[in-house]
A and B are shown apart, each in its own frame.
Chain A
Amino acid sequence: MAETEILSSPGARLVDVVRRFFEGDVFYSFRRSPVVIVAFAVTVIFFLGAFLAPWLAPHNTFDAATLNLLDAFKPPAWKADGDRSFPIGTDDQGRDVLSTIMYGMRVSLLVGFCSVALALAIGVTLGLLSGYIGGALDALIMRVADVQLSFPAILVALLIDGLARSFLPRSMHEELAIYVLVLAIGASNWVQFARTMRGSVMVEKGREYVQAARVIGIHPAMIMVRHVLPNVTGPVLVIATLALAVAILTEATLSFLGVGVPPTQPSLGTLIRIGNNFLFSGEWWMTIFPGAALVLLVLAVNLLGDWLRDALNPKLR
């Protein structure tokens, strides 16, 4: 019965979705904006550089055996006493700066993505419950959010990090540093997701398709997950993009302050801190290049987030 074969295979659905995307408004506004194309290209290059670092980087800077202290403080290759094998110089321990940036960005992006994922998970869950169920639960969650919002996010992150430091033995702390950092940044950023989610959910909850599901007697948890959630992902995704930039910056700040990742696995923030010590003795490349990489990455991600917000908001088109 061909007539009743009305639901096609998952593969055909995927093709359909991809086709819709390229014919859609979002892709059109992407093509029309050179700034966004450049930001996208920069982001992709940085992501590739970071995730393919073990294969692309000229040196493995995490492997102490390959380091040679005689290579320390080499200036960029174009300087008179530069070395061809270290294109933008070396740091105080003879590590190639280009390679440390690539490996460091890996750490920065890993922490950034994981902490945003954690903040998303907490924020979306609490926001969904708060908006849909309402009442006392809503009041409780939102008051907790208000209290947390009255502290700067960096302070909350410092607090969690400090607690972890005092409760974990020193040897474990080195290993767990990245997880602690993810927890600290993630837990300090969930509020904005929860608030956005709550607002969108309260709007959707009043819509008739949700009421239709209630008349059928669908379980509230199913209504939340299958009806409400797919219709409120837009604003949250936009915030997630912007939050990624903030999370990378927070990680860099914490690492710069010396409470982030251990120096043996430097992130961009650690590199800037180490280089900062030598800035006035003339070895500027140790801090300028990681700093520039951080600025470019955050700027590109922010521009993408801004564009996504505009492209997905029909009122601003």
Chain B
Amino acid sequence: MVEPLLRVADLARYFDVSPPWLNRVLEGQGRAILKAVDGVNFTIPKGETFSIVGESGCGKSTVARLVVGLYRPTRGSISFEGHDLASLTTRAQMAPLRRRLQMIFQDPFASLNPRWRVADIIAEPIRAFGLIEGRQAILDRVGQLLRQVKLAPVDGEKYPHEFSGGQRQRISIARALASQPDFLVCDEPTSALDVSVQAQILNLMKDLQRQLGLTYLFISHNLAVVYHISDRVAVMYLGRMAEVAPTKILFRRPRHPYTRMLLDTIPDLAMTGRQRQPVAGEVPSPIDPPTGCAFHPRCPHANDRCRSERPEPRALPDGALVACHGVEEGRVPDGPIGLVQG
């Protein structure tokens, strides 16, 4: 079996959100631990786009940050081409992997240093990794990168505030591509953009993937965007994976009740008037998650087993992985819901 580009095993990240020591003593409270990510497994083969979707606060952005090394995992491992990222401690050891693993951020208005010229922003990774020597050579490369994201080389002379949101996101992509990475982590790269611009950025990303053989880890809460770009999709709920399946299967035949609920929220133009399951309840606090299956307070199919025993992901014959007792026992009705146009 070929080693996947990225393998994430039992990844967890807890945050200590306790009040200060004095308050805890005075108010008689214990420590509060937020389990943002709690035991997540997935692999991404080279050239694939793997998406993680979920509501706000489900831990999807934390996964992205863990993968690029902005956070250290509390537990579990992340291996890139078989190299465990946690075993690399010095900056010198990390540099070769960092070059190959870059990130595109959510907010194009915050991800570019407002005091730097665009050419310097894009040149930063080139200089940091010492990829090209000489001022003119670096400028030539920056011009080439700008053309690659459909901007003009003269734009390098400008400052970020002279660009629109979509153009800034292109600059952000150019910076991420500057170190010639194999793997890009995209943390909601289109959620701050207008719908018309979203499509342009997504198409650009797809083109770049084809040209450069990139692998994407794509984080989003927008199911339509995910459907458009992904090969496989993971649905996250309260720090755990509810369902992982190839895109077509997930959208045509969602198994997990949570996935079904999310898909039911997609508006469709056909106005079928079909009965939809309204999204009930809110995401529980990850500091004090429900026992058993974290989704049981919102699940219409929950029974006593769901309330007490945590479901583990189980593989189904068509390649889907579902963590649900109801699906395993056949209690949850199977089959297509709604209409999702291909």
Contacts and interface: CB of A to CB of B under 8 A. Distances in A.
A227 B91 contact: no
A209 B110 contact: yes
Interface stretch (B113-121, B209-217, B221-229): B113-121
B137 to A, nearest CB: 10
A172 interface: no
Given A6-B142, A7-B119, A217-B95, A207 B102 contact: no
25 contacts: A1-B140, A3-B143, A4-B139, A4-B143, A4-B153, A6-B119, A6-B139, A6-B143, A6-B157, A7-B119, A7-B157, A207-B110, A207-B111, A208-B110, A209-B112, A209-B114, A211-B103, A211-B105, A212-B103, A212-B111, A213-B124, A214-B70, A215-B69, A217-B95, A217-B129
A247 to B, nearest CB: 28
Given A1-B140, A212-B111, A6 B154 contact: yes
A224 B111 CA distance: 16
Contact of A231 (B113, B119, B136, B139): B113
Interface in A1-26: 1, 3-8
A217 B139 contact: no
Interface residues of B, number: 37
Given A227-B113, A231-B114, 5 more contacts: A4-B140, A6-B139, A209-B110, A214-B70, A218-B124
Contacts of B98: 215-217
A105 B113 CA distance: 41
Nearest to B109: A208
Contacts of A3: 143, 153-154
B68 A215 contact: yes
Contacts of B119: 6-7
Given A217-B91, A231-B114, A208 B124 contact: no
A230 B114 CA distance: 9
A47 B124 CA distance: 42
Contacts of B175: 212
Given A6-B139, A6-B153, A216 B124 contact: yes
Contacts of B94: 217
Nearest to B107: A208
A317 interface: no
A219 interface: yes
Contacts of B62: none
B153 A230 contact: no
Contacts of B172: 212
Contacts of B257: none
Nearest to B113: A209
B125 A216 contact: yes
Interface in B86-134: 91, 94-95, 98, 102-103, 105-107, 110-115, 117, 119, 124-125, 128-129
A199 B242 CA distance: 40
A8 B157 contact: yes
Contacts of A217: 91, 94-95, 98, 128-129
Top-9 shortest CB links A-B: A208-B111, A208-B105, A230-B115, A6-B156, A217-B98, A209-B113, A208-B110, A4-B143, A207-B110
B153 A219 contact: no
Interface string A178-215: 00000000000000000000000000000111011111
A211 B175 CA distance: 13
Contacts of A1: 140
Nearest to A220: B91
Nearest to A218: B128
Contacts of B95: 217
A295 B129 CA distance: 56
Q: B interface, by DSSP: helix, strand, loop or mixed?
A: helix
Contacts of B113: 209, 213, 227, 230-231
Nearest to A217: B98
A207 B112 CA distance: 9
A208 B107 CA distance: 7
B49 interface: no
B179 interface: yes
Interface in B190-204: none
A214 B70 CA distance: 7
A214 B113 CA distance: 13
B136 A4 contact: yes
Given A4-B136, A4-B139, A6-B142, A219 B103 contact: no
Contacts of A211: 70, 103, 105, 111
Contacts of A216: 98, 102, 124-125, 128-129, 179
Nearest to B152: A3
B16 to A, nearest CB: 13
A214 to B, nearest CB: 6
A218 B115 CA distance: 17
A182 B135 CA distance: 43
Contacts of B128: 216-218
Interface string B153-197: 110110000000000000010010001000000000000000000
Contact of B91 (A207, A208, A219): A219
A203 to B, nearest CB: 11
Contacts of A5: 139
A67 B112 CA distance: 63
Given A215-B70, A216-B124, A7 B117 contact: yes
A253 to B, nearest CB: 38
A4 B140 CA distance: 6
A215 B115 contact: no
A213 B91 CA distance: 13
Contact of A208 (B106, B117, B136, B153): B106
Contacts of A208: 105-107, 110-111
Contacts of A219: 91
A215 B129 CA distance: 12
A50 to B, nearest CB: 34
Contacts of B68: 215
Chain A CB within 10 Å — which of B106, B117, B124 has the most? B124
A26 to B, nearest CB: 16
